[in-house]
């Protein structure tokens, strides 16, 4: 009977989504199967190149700065020239810059190319999220975002372990593998994905104009952006603070890869059933719980002394990630006007990009000056602040049914079944 229930749950989870979503999902999966730079950059710089944790943090911060600059620009591009062209430009640029990063040796050159990688890789995020909101019905979006996040971590679960062993053989091979896989993603987008940007008349464009000023004046949304930044600061430590701390404690890249791979494995195993459980629950409460779990999950890392214990702490904050990712992304779409999705998603993406800029500087400074335990304690404090913030901000949030009803009343311009956006053949 349990097998029958599992099959039914899987069927209900994947059914009813349009073909374009699955090609976008495939592109995401292929990209994450080749992930290397974001996970192993800190180890590459400290163990292979011999730089300090502070320099590694500086390079990661420069990488994050590139993402900050490109987030808003990519959001505007997504609304103006379309989702598909933005994706093609971002992915092709990422492939070229990642390959180049594997060959540069001068410290300044490494930082400069890392900046370009950050710009290129971050530019695709507003386009992916806006396209997904365009092509999926409002009532299916949490499920779609969850499946996309599942693909990210299915790829990560495979690539993190494999890349750990690749790193012990050749870091350059890791950079080249990521470059090739990213270019494959660009090919998938070019061949299989149509443009999904909703079409509107000139009069509608004048009446519904959405600029960056509109986004900045949206108080509730900007509050979500600020709290997202705090949560992102915590989650970023899995790829910036944790590898440096484990390396300083004598653990190898392969051991870090095995510990962090637990994150991807758990998300692959639990993302779908957990999403089915939380899909129609209060997003405010879910975001409070996930913030606290993230903060205290990383806080427990202060007591880890073996790969097994590190893996256990990863389990705790991974549960927070499973709950937070689809809930937060779905909330951003609910708070975004249809024809401003690119800009809103760009601003939301920028919160993670700014965190990618700040987190390495924070972790490098704290580890070098005070030790890793202070970093994990700080994560617990930040998680508590974020949880309290979500609890206050989400009061009076319109229900999911109300938000969906308003979108349908708007003529179904958000895509999905109500009124499919005009698409152009690839």
Give the model's pLDDT for residue 264: 75
Average pLDDT of the chain to the nearest whole number: 80
Distance separating alpha carbons of residues 198 and 33, to the nearest angstrom: 31
Question: Using alpha carbons only, what angle is made at residue 178 by residues 117 and 24, rounded to the nearest 5 degrees?
Answer: 90
Asked whether the predicted pLDDT for residue 128 surpasses 70, the reply is: yes
User: pTM to 2 decimals?
Assistant: 0.70
Show the tokens assigned to 63: 């990488």
How many whole angstroms separate alpha carbon 258 and alpha carbon 314?
A: 11
Q: Is the pLDDT of residue 251 over 90?
A: no
Band the pLDDT of 2: cuts 50, 70, 90. Answer: low
Q: What are the structural domain ranges in the chain?
A: 17-197+211-409
Question: Is residue 412 pLDDT above 60, yes or no?
Answer: no
d(CA 260, CA 138): 33
What are 169-172's contacts with CB under 8 Å, separation 24+?
171/40, 171/44, 171/48, 171/102, 172/102, 172/103
Nearest to residue 238, comparing CAs of 294, 179, 286?
Answer: 294
Write out pLDDT tens, residues 179-232. 888 898 888 888 888 888 777 655 444 545 666 777 788 888 899 999 999 999
Mean pLDDT along residues 107-128:
87
What is the DSSP-derived secondary structure letter of residue 237? G
Helix axes 124-135, 53-80, angle to 10 degrees: 40
> What confidence score (pLDDT) does residue 414 get?
38
Give the list of residues 6+ apart from residue 133 with CB closer than 8 angstroms, or none: 141, 333, 336, 341, 414, 415
17-197+211-409: CATH architecture: Up-down Bundle (1.20)
Q: Among candidates 378, 406, 355, 392, which has minimal Cα distance to 224?
A: 392
What's the pLDDT score for residue 375?
93
Asked if 66 and 127 count as a contact pair (C-beta separation under 8 A), the reply is no
At 426, the pLDDT band (50, 70, 90 cuts) reads very low
């Amino acid at each position: 009977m349990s097998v029958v229930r599992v099959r039914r749950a899987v069927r209900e989870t994947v059914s009813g989504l349009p073909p374009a979503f699955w090609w976008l999902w495939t592109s995401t999966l292929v990209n994450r199967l080749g992930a290397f730079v974001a996970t192993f950059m800190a180890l590459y710089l400290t163990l292979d190149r011999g730089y300090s944790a502070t320099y590694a943090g500086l390079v990661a911060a420069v990488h994050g700065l590139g993402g900050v600059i490109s987030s808003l620009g990519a959001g505007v591009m997504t609304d103006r020239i379309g989702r598909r062209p933005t994706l093609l430009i971002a992915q092709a640029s990422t492939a070229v810059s990642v390959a180049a990063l594997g060959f540069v040796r001068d410290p300044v050159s490494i930082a400069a190319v890392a900046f370009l990688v950050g710009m290129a890789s971050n530019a695709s995020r507003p386009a992916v999220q806006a396209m997904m909101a365009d092509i999926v019905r409002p009532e299916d979006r949490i499920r779609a975002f969850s499946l996309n996040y599942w693909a990210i971590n299915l790829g990560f679960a495979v690539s993190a372990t494999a890349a750990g062993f690749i790193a012990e053989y050749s870091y350059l091979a890791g950079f080249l593998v990521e470059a090739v896989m990213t270019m494959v993603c660009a090919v998938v987008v070019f061949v299989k994905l149509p443009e999904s940007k909703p079409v509107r008349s000139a009069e509608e464009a004048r009446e519904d104009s959405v600029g960056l000023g509109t986004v900045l004046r949206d108080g509730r949304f900007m509050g979500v952006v600020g709290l997202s930044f705090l949560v992102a600061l915590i989650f970023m430590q899995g790829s910036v603070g944790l590898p440096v701390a484990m390396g300083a404690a004598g653990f190898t890249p392969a051991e870090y890869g095995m510990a962090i791979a637990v994150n991807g494995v758990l998300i692959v195993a639990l993302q779908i059933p957990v999403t089915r459980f939380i899909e129609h629950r209060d997003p405010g409460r879910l975001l409070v719980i996930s913030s606290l779990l993230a903060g205290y999950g990383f806080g427990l890392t202060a007591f880890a002394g073996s790969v097994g214990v590190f893996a256990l702490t990863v389990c705790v904050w991974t549960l927070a990630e499973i709950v937070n990712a689809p809930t937060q992304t779905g909330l951003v779409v609910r708070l975004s006007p249809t024809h401003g999705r690119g800009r809103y998603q760009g601003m939301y993406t920028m919160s993670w990009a700014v965190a990618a800029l700040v987190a390495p500087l924070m972790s490098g400074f704290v580890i070098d000056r005070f030790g890793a335990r202070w970093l994990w304690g700080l994560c617990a404090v930040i998680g508590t602040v974020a949880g309290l913030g979500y609890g206050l901000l989400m009061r009076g949030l319109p229900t999911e049914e109300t938000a969906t009803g308003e979108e349908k009343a708007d003529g179904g311009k958000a895509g999905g079944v109500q009124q499919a956006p005009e698409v152009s053949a690839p």
